[in-house]
Structure 1
Amino acid sequence: MHHNKKKVLAACLAMAIVASVQAQEQIVHPDINYAGTPRDLVIGGFNVSGIDGYEDYMLTGISGLSVGQHISVPGTEITEAVKRYWKHGLFSDVKISADSIVGDKIYLHISLKARPRVSTINYVGLKKSEKEDMEKKLGILQGGQITPNMIDRAKILAKKYFDDKGYKNADIEIQQRPDVTGKNQVILDVIIDKKDKIKVRHIYIEGNKYLSNLRIKGGLFHKGAFAKTHEAGKLSTFLKSKKFTPERWKADKEKLIEKYYELGYRDATILKDSVWNNDPKHVNVYVKVDEGKKYYIRNIHWVGNTVYNSAYLSNLLGMRKGDVYNQKLLNKRLREDDDAVSNLYYNNGYVFSSIDPAEQNIVGDSIDLEMRVLEGPQAHLSHVRINGNDRLYENVVRRELRTKPGDLFSKEALMRSARELASMGFFDPEKVTPDVKPNAEDGTVDINWNLTQKSNDQIEFSLGWGQTGIIGRVGLTLNNFSMANLFNKNKEHRGIMPIGDGEKLSIGVQTNGSYYQSYNTSYSTNWFGGKRPIQFSVGAFYSKQTDVSSNYYNSAWQNSYLQSLYGYNSYSYNYSNYENYYDPDKYVKLLGASIGWGKRLRWPDDYFNLSLELSFTRYMLKNWRYFSDLMTTGNSNNLNLSIAINRSSTDNQLFPRRGSEFTASVTLTPPWSMWDGKDYKNLATNPYSANYVREQQEKYRWIEYNKWKFKARTFTALTSAQKCFVLMTRVELGILGSYNKYKKSPFETFYVGGDGMSGYSSTYGEETIGLRGYENGSLTPYGSEGYAYDRMSLELRYPFLLGNTTIYGLTFVEGGNAWTETSKFNPFQMKRSAGVGVRIYLPMVGLMGIDWAYGFDKDNNGSKGGSQFHFVLGQEF
């Protein structure tokens, strides 16, 4: 019995083993019959092929399937997984099959083929600038995968781009071809035939009675309601664009209705409009208007105003009974103008206020307006944050702000703060815009100043050519210097360099060896002591100019004379050999120092500044022939006090669009001749006298003069756009007077003409004044001194690039002159010129530029100005 039990147990075990083997039967590459009965299987694993460079788990994740998941075979789960791969868009072929089925587990094989990548994009039929625009618009990147949707989208975007440019007939074709140099890569050829721009042939207007066709279309010298839609082939549109685009046409239809509203036709509307082809290059446009009647203002009634009375608000509004109902003007006087009614509230903290005009009654052609005022509470500033500043100490920035926590909100203070930050020179002026965030819950306002830092330190290394050869200059200007950090007195000191306080330190050296040497250094701050806007400056300089010997001039003059007679140049070899003519016994030396103080004024307004400067200069001459009529040998001293009042309200240092600058100054020396008891009328009058040199030294030991100058510039933006034409006007004049007509100063005279780049000539003690179109100094007669000058300019500017790097072009007309006697000064007796130029501002270099000018008149030496090139290096005034 026991033996039989063992046989039964063995038989059961054998049956179990057979069942297990049958259950684990493996079917390789099974044929799935989609017409058969679905089986419930469990995913046992995945095998992915066809794609390199990606982990398998990333590719299987796209399917939405996972190991251990129950699926029906055949069933919808595999179908949905394939759809997910197609929807992903990066695959050109997708297959999911079964590698094997082991029992109730199925092992899937996912076979993928990636869409090709773009190796090269060729743009055919486009300019360089258009290619750059197309690259940005189309969004197809080199190295990216390409899809059919991407190609279709690129065609639509390209078509729209050229439609907007006026090329409505442009053909766009995008072709793919295999790149034999790379696996699974294609070359895209974007082929564009722009054809001709579509222009407007005829504009048909119907229904207009009060607004004539001329006032709608515009003329040669008349601006019409249509700003960008003009008829081709007519003299009246010679200087206007005739290109047609749907956007331009839509905008001009809106401008037409705005024009009617401006003239009081509040009911004006466009009944219908259409556009049709006139020929392959032109379209005709048609518009029919219903003008309605013209309306006038009858009564203006204010409601809700408690802070300001109605009479005051009406007077500020400036629109009265009987005026045309000009909705454009109404909006400007309520909201847009600097002195608009809403700004009256904003400047006194009512940031949550609003003024909404409502048409209360309409009787015939008259309208009663009700100005509904919601004043709300006065808002104070809660948080004022400064972002983007990492070079200046924060207190240096905050002291320029007119918006401080706890102050009443003021739009005027906000705009003034923006102007002050832009004028500091440490931030990109084009990006100084306040981010104002009103907090209605607590009635406060937060202001975020998001600034873009820029470097304004300058390093200069330049070479020039003078009478005695190459002249080199090396200069360093630190505009963010900190004197406190130099002596480790600033607790906020950040690093090794003494920077952070926005002070200015300048050091410069200029030389060409033995003949000329110049050294200068200066320090200035606009916040002396750090608490008040007090200006303080100190400076010192030394220069030495050595003359060449008389042999050089005799040789040059003699050979030049021979050349004019006989046509040869025998001195060309020695002309540049200056070393042979070095004469150390002929020189002029200048040694000087100055100290200045200034203060921001509150009257007439706080754009005014008063500055004082006390300076001393010692002139040391030996056999210096340039002042032969006044002084050739000896020492002169110049002790003077300068008093200047200036006002600057420009909105931008690099490219001003609005505002003005002016400076009025007087420089005075003590009137030495009034108390020294010398007879200057008979002193140093005879050059043949044995005492002539001694008398010259006695006469000019202490020079005296009174110097009066005025300079002004205005800037007017001709449109409201950021990039716009700007008209700059300039007027300046100067007079160097004397206390005693027999003791006129040989120094501090005006050297007029040319580029004016040197600003102040330390070589001869002259002030250099530029006048383009003429040689340097040519408007000061040779051998004489300029004791009076004037200069007037009109300059039209346009910016090509704004920001840290600023580039703008200009065209100008200019006039000016110089006089040897102040009594002969005539501001309208000018030497005229005109020309064009360009300016480039680079952060580490400063302002550079070049002008071409043509002088129309003869200079004061008898030569016509003619064609001249002038170079600019440094700030202009």
Structure 2
Amino acid sequence: MGKQVSNLTNISPYKTFIKFCFAILLMTVSCFNIQAQSLNTNKKYTIGGISVLGNSSFGEQTIINFSGLKKDQEINIPGEEIGNAIKKLWGTKLFNNIEVYVTNIENNIAYLQIRLEDLPQLNELKVNGVKKGKIEGIVEDNKLKKGTKVTENLITNTKNFLTRKYKKEGFLNTKVHINTIEVKDSLKTARVNMVLNIDKGEKVKIKDIVFNGNEMISDKKLRKAMKSTKKINRLRILKRSKFVDSAYQADLSSVVDKFKEHGYRDARIVSDSIIYNNDKTISININVTEGDLYTFGDIKFIGNTVYTDKQLNNILRIKKGDTYNGVLLQERIADNSKPDANDITNAYQNNGYLFSTIRQVEVSADNNVIDMEIRITEGKPAYFNSVSVVGNERTNDHVIYRELKTRPGQLYSKAEVVRTVRELGQLGFFDAQEISPNFNNPNPVEGTIDMEYSVKETGSSQIELQGGYGGGGFIGTLGLSFNNFSMKNIFNKEAYKPVPMGDGQRLALRLQASRFFQTYSFQFSEPWLGGKKPVQFSTSISHTKQFLFDFINRRADRSRSFNITGITFGLAKRLSVPDNYFTLSNAIGYQRYDLNNYNTGLFTFGDGYSNNLSYTIGLTRNNTRFDPIFPTGGSNFSITAKFSFPYSTVNGVDYTALREERDLNESITQNVNSTPSQVQNARDRISEIDQERFKWLEFYKINFKGDWYNEIAKNLVLRPLVEFGFLGAYNNDRGAIPFERFFVGGDGLGQFSLDGREAIQLRGYPNQSLAPYDKSTGQVFNDGATIYNKFSLELRYPVTLKASAKIYGLAFLEAGNSWNSFKDYNPFNVNRSAGMGVRIFMPAFGLLGIDFGHGFDPLPGTTEKHGWETHFIIGQQF
């Protein structure tokens, strides 16, 4: 509001003239914002009318309403009312150049005029300097949608936001320029086009990090403590040397923690500075003060009744005289980085004391010896009042509740909450990254807590539909896998959405066919047989028909076939000892092998059959957490043994004589002096002997597999793996069977054969190429091995772990080989490889991936290293 002009009544004529001239002068000064009139200071006036002047799309009455002023309202001039009116108009964020004038006064009635202009609306926005995919985010973050009112504040805030944003990402030289161009239209609406130019420049690399003031801890150790801020090192791959301010600030705290870990409790960062070098890099100078070296003195526990001092000291594991380590002390009291850490807080929370509080207090620091008190307020034990699950729409409640380790009325245990999150994630029906335990209605007085597990369902069914060219012809595959099936609703039409779902059962159907083979398989499993105990029942039925390849006309000879039909029944039970991560599994399987004029190197008889009745027992311990697709911790060990009945001990066949007779006939076939008829007769007899040997397969088979998952940095997971397998015979005269063998090399995906063979992944080499090799004869045994071992080291890092698609990259080192006897077995005589790959998991299609592996050793029977091999992974488990 402008200055008030005094009343000219009762003033002498010459003074009147002076006052009048002064009033005219005031009227010409725009900063006063009020037209000169005859006003009394601090006198109330009645608003006689309000007019509006200026370029605005809003109606006059609307603007007056925005101002809060009304006709016949009494106001002071000058006074708060007009000032508040101007504030309200500014507060609408709709107008610009707002001024209020008094245009006329008649007998204490003032007439006002509001002069303003509409703020321009944003018409079009053009963003230069960033990728198209980033523009939408910039618009959302800065509210730059079409129609937004463009103010100086908006422009300034946008510049500051983008500059800070890109500097945090390492673009220290970011420059942001915003230009607005007025647009005129027929509606006379104020509009502007905005051009947003972003010049991020290059990310600034760190040439050097220099510490000053440190004497006891070297620069190298301090730089190592900085996890994300690294100076240029061309040999380092995983961490770049780009400067990111947010990461740098966190790393400064890590430097202080490094001093505290070595006893320098009073260490601190005095100052830090960034120096811009001429080569467009920066150097960082960090000035520190170490302070004195401290040691632990007496450590006393105050308030503990549940645990004795001795028990708590066994968890704390810090003794008087130890070098002071504040970081370690905090971890032993409450390690927030590990939900299942062995610390004092978890000891209490796993025993029901959810409401306990534990604080460490320094009571003395004389002579650089710190005496500590760990003060514990135990509170009342907490019990679960209610336990619920939200977010499941397809999965039935009983499928979820049977996996919960926490029950109403049960004593609270943090370990059981963590275990429940793992079990829900392992089901495969929910996004493991989205499972959240929510603590509701905590009541320390009553000692109760309501537990709610929030889940987000993800697609649990998969479809495999593919076609390709291989093995001399087109191969088509149709596979359906329903991992949350409901068999009881199979005849309920209303349950088909598109199939009956929700009971946690698994149903899989697969059909694969080409000119040379046909494969059909059906699998079903119920994880809780009877619904009361975690006893899994599973069954599978399969049939495959293979046709011999005719090398003359290069077609499948359908008159010569090898048929395999099999059925398996299995039971697996979770154990409670040694702990409840163990599973004991049992299975009985039967396969029938029928050969119809099918003569290959694998079999010495082309017509006949074999029967395989076997029993498999396995012990598995799996405590991987939490996401089964991308585990970040835990391990998975399994050992299985597969046995057939020892027929040779009861059937009365003299296998020693058969072996000797077979060896004799084998020598006839290899003797150059044997006549063709003698050779043919010898081969026929060998076929008869082998038909007798393999009429009922006799064998035992041992497999071991173990892998570990270690999160060595945030989301960076190291996975070591060891595998071993052995196929043996009860009776050496009867010999090893031609089925159930190990085929090492390649992507590890099982082929169409159902003869019990195991395809062992070893990337960097062709599929099933690392066969046993006899150096003395130069013979490669391509019919599979009876022994193998494999070592693998894999480093994984996720790109995204969202429910729609989980993607992670990997790098690997692998080594392995196969043998046919223990006399040749050497676990370190292996073929080595290295490479990298990517995995993509989509709920509808399962796991997809590609690996590029480099084999460093020659294939059996060759002399040059194999080199690069590409592997496509489809449907392989993790």
Whether these two folds match at TM > 0.5 is yes
SS at match of 1:418: helix
Change (3 A) 1:457 1:119: farther
User: Contact between 1:44 and 1:106, CA under 8 Å: does it hold in 2?
Assistant: no
The residue number in structure 1 matching 2:408 is 405
Residues in 2 aligned to 1:475 and 1:241: alpha-carbon distance in whole angstroms: 43
Structure-to-structure mapping, 1:603-682, within 5 angstroms: 603-627=577-601, 629-651=603-625, 652-682=627-657
Structure-to-structure mapping, 1:825-836, within 5 angstroms: 825-836=825-836
Structure 1: stretches of 5+ with no match in the other structure: 1-31, 554-580
Q: CA deviation at 1:252?
A: 4.1
SS at match of 1:655: coil
Identify the range of structure 1 (267-276 vs 765-774) with the bigger mean alpha-carbon deviation. Answer: 267-276
The residue number in structure 2 matching 1:851 is 851
Change (3 A) 1:240 1:484: closer
Change (3 A) 1:71 1:453: farther
Q: CA deviation at 1:629?
A: 4.4
Is 2:727 the partner of 1:746? no
The residue number in structure 2 matching 1:153 is 157
Is 2:853 the partner of 1:820? no
Structure 2: stretches of 5+ with no match in the other structure: 1-33, 666-678, 772-779
Change (3 A) 1:284 1:600: closer
Q: CA deviation at 1:675?
A: 1.3
- Paired AA for residue 317 in structure 2: G
Q: CA deviation at 1:406?
A: 1.0
* Residue deviations 1:683-707 (CA, integer Å, cap 9, x gap): 4834723555444433322111111
- Paired AA for residue 807 in structure 1: I
The residue number in structure 2 matching 1:350 is 353
* TM-score normalised over the length of structure 2: 0.83
Residues in 2 aligned to 1:851 and 1:326: alpha-carbon distance in whole angstroms: 44
Residues in 1 aligned to 2:568 and 2:50: alpha-carbon distance in whole angstroms: 91
Q: CA deviation at 1:61?
A: 5.1
- Paired AA for residue 347 in structure 1: N
Change (3 A) 1:827 1:269: closer
SS at match of 1:757: coil
User: Contact between 2:67 and 2:86, CA under 8 Å: does it hold in 1?
Assistant: yes
* Residue deviations 1:462-518 (CA, integer Å, cap 9, x gap): 1122224111011111111112222569xx979784211111011111112x53211
Identify the range of structure 1 (786-795 vs 609-618) with the bigger mean alpha-carbon deviation. Answer: 786-795
Structure-to-structure mapping, 1:446-457, within 5 angstroms: 446-457=450-461
Residues in 1 aligned to 2:290 and 2:237: alpha-carbon distance in whole angstroms: 29
SS at match of 1:748: coil
Q: CA deviation at 1:376?
A: 1.1
Residues in 1 aligned to 2:368 and 2:207: alpha-carbon distance in whole angstroms: 38
Is 2:194 the partner of 1:188? yes
Change (3 A) 1:330 1:185: same
Structure-to-structure mapping, 1:798-817, within 5 angstroms: 798-804=797-803, 805-817=805-817
* Residue deviations 1:202-253 (CA, integer Å, cap 9, x gap): 656444332334433x3xxxx2x44555666x89999965555665554444
User: Contact between 1:478 and 1:504, CA under 8 Å: does it hold in 2?
Assistant: yes
Structure-to-structure mapping, 1:16-165, within 5 angstroms: 35=37, 40=46, 50-51=56-57, 62-64=66-68, 70=73, 80-81=84-85, 83-92=87-96, 114-127=118-131, 131=135, 134-135=138-139, 137-165=141-169
Residues in 2 aligned to 1:820 and 1:204: alpha-carbon distance in whole angstroms: 59
The residue number in structure 1 matching 2:218 is 212
- Paired AA for residue 709 in structure 2: F
User: Contact between 2:51 and 2:60, CA under 8 Å: does it hold in 1?
Assistant: no
Residues in 2 aligned to 1:441 and 1:69: alpha-carbon distance in whole angstroms: 61
Identify the range of structure 1 (791-800 vs 766-775) with the bigger mean alpha-carbon deviation. Answer: 766-775
SS at match of 2:531: coil
The residue number in structure 1 matching 2:866 is 865
Residues in 2 aligned to 1:385 and 1:200: alpha-carbon distance in whole angstroms: 51
Change (3 A) 1:833 1:274: closer
SS at match of 1:645: strand
Q: CA deviation at 1:117?
A: 3.7
Q: CA deviation at 1:526?
A: 1.3
User: Contact between 2:93 and 2:149, CA under 8 Å: does it hold in 1?
Assistant: no
User: Contact between 2:269 and 2:289, CA under 8 Å: does it hold in 1?
Assistant: yes
Change (3 A) 1:110 1:451: farther
Change (3 A) 1:237 1:699: closer
Change (3 A) 1:206 1:78: closer
- Paired AA for residue 800 in structure 1: V
Q: CA deviation at 1:608?
A: 0.5
The residue number in structure 1 matching 2:378 is 375
- Paired AA for residue 774 in structure 1: Y
Change (3 A) 1:164 1:778: same
* Residue deviations 1:364-389 (CA, integer Å, cap 9, x gap): 23222222121111111112221111
Structure-to-structure mapping, 1:393-472, within 5 angstroms: 393-437=396-440, 438-472=442-476
SS at match of 1:602: coil
Is 2:773 the partner of 1:773? no
SS at match of 2:530: coil
Q: CA deviation at 1:399?
A: 1.3
Q: CA deviation at 1:109?
A: 10
Q: CA deviation at 1:419?
A: 0.9
SS at match of 2:181: strand
- Paired AA for residue 456 in structure 1: S
The residue number in structure 2 matching 1:838 is 838
Change (3 A) 1:199 1:823: closer
SS at match of 2:619: strand
The residue number in structure 1 matching 2:318 is 319
Residues in 1 aligned to 2:428 and 2:609: alpha-carbon distance in whole angstroms: 41
User: Contact between 1:266 and 1:295, CA under 8 Å: does it hold in 2?
Assistant: yes
Residues in 2 aligned to 1:181 and 1:728: alpha-carbon distance in whole angstroms: 65
Change (3 A) 1:126 1:586: same
User: Contact between 1:49 and 1:110, CA under 8 Å: does it hold in 2?
Assistant: no
User: Contact between 2:382 and 2:444, CA under 8 Å: does it hold in 1?
Assistant: no
Change (3 A) 1:276 1:628: closer
Which of residues 508, 511, 516 is equivalent to 1:509? 511
Identify the range of structure 1 (283-292 vs 637-646) with the bigger mean alpha-carbon deviation. Answer: 283-292
The residue number in structure 1 matching 2:31 is none
SS at match of 2:334: helix
User: Contact between 2:384 and 2:448, CA under 8 Å: does it hold in 1?
Assistant: yes
Is 2:749 the partner of 1:757? yes
Residues in 2 aligned to 1:44 and 1:729: alpha-carbon distance in whole angstroms: 82
Change (3 A) 1:78 1:269: closer
SS at match of 1:801: strand
* Residue deviations 1:262-289 (CA, integer Å, cap 9, x gap): 2112233445555566669466655544
Residues in 2 aligned to 1:774 and 1:313: alpha-carbon distance in whole angstroms: 54
Residues in 2 aligned to 1:56 and 1:654: alpha-carbon distance in whole angstroms: 64
Structure-to-structure mapping, 1:206-605, within 5 angstroms: 206-216=212-222, 218=223, 223=224, 225-227=225-227, 242-244=241-243, 247=246, 250-272=249-271, 281=280, 285-336=284-335, 338-437=341-440, 438-486=442-490, 497-512=499-514, 514-552=515-553, 581-605=555-579
SS at match of 1:837: strand
The residue number in structure 1 matching 2:795 is 796
User: Contact between 1:230 and 1:237, CA under 8 Å: does it hold in 2?
Assistant: no
Q: CA deviation at 1:147?
A: 2.2
Change (3 A) 1:201 1:793: closer
CA RMSD of aligned residues (A): 3.7
Q: CA deviation at 1:323?
A: 0.7
Change (3 A) 1:749 1:273: closer
Residues in 1 aligned to 2:141 and 2:315: alpha-carbon distance in whole angstroms: 48
Over the matched positions of the two proteins, sequence identity in percent amounts to 35
SS at match of 2:704: strand
